[in-house]
Amino acid sequence: MLKIGVLVSGSGTNLQSIIDSIKAGHIQGEIAIVISDKKSAFGLQRAISENIPSVFISKKQAGSIDNFNAEIIRALKSYSVDLVVLAGYLSILSKEFIQAYRNQIINIHPSLIPSFCGNGYYGLKVHEAAINHGVKVSGATVHFVDEGTDTGAIILQKTVEVLPLDSAETLQQKVLKLEHQLLPLAVKLFCEKKLNIIELENKPTKVLVLK
């Protein structure tokens, strides 16, 4: 059974979706540790209520971004984590972090990458951009994390219709429902070793989802 480390910065609803999926027997893995960069993150309370080890790691006390990421890596390694899940985690991962868990870090993003992603696109800003552009569909994407921002190989995507009267807030709630479906599914596929990473020279990395 694979061990999962989940990083959160906020309420942790995506964390909860993974917890619920594991409890339902859909995921052949266990959450070994939940880590947050925010002391007040409700995601930590969700972990505590499920008797999952939880840790707050302070950027300020770490002294530098490199030290901060190094502390997180140490915490993950101490629990022998096989998969790192970014579930609403807003801090930047260092190059060393990516190298330590190459092709073992997944993230959920509230748009159809490559639309409305990259630097500055997070939270409600993503949905505001989608509404302002007048798109007819939006959605969510689960992808592997690399050195770029939202540039890693795409694992899963799902769409939702954007209606004429939708606001950024209503679209956010629609997409969040998709996130709660996609992220546990991606974790399930990873734990079942059904994600085949294809790396070709001078071409983008792709993920083949095995059935």
| Active-site residue flag, 109 | yes
CA-closest candidate to residue 165, choices 115, 133, 131:
131
Q: In angstroms, how far apart are the furthest CA atoms of the chain?
A: 49
CA-closest candidate to residue 159, choices 145, 178, 185:
178
Which DSSP string do the residues of 60-96 spell out, in sequence order? HHH-SHHHHHHHHHHHHHHTT-SEEEESS--SPPPHH
* Phi, then psi, of 85 in degrees rounded to 5: -115, 125
Which is the catalytic residue, given 26, 109, 143, 180? 109
Which DSSP string do the residues of 14-40 spell out, in sequence order? HHHHHHHHHHTT--SEEEEEEEES-TT
Using CA atoms, how far apart are residues 46 and 3, in angstroms rounded to an integer? 18
Catalytic positions are 109
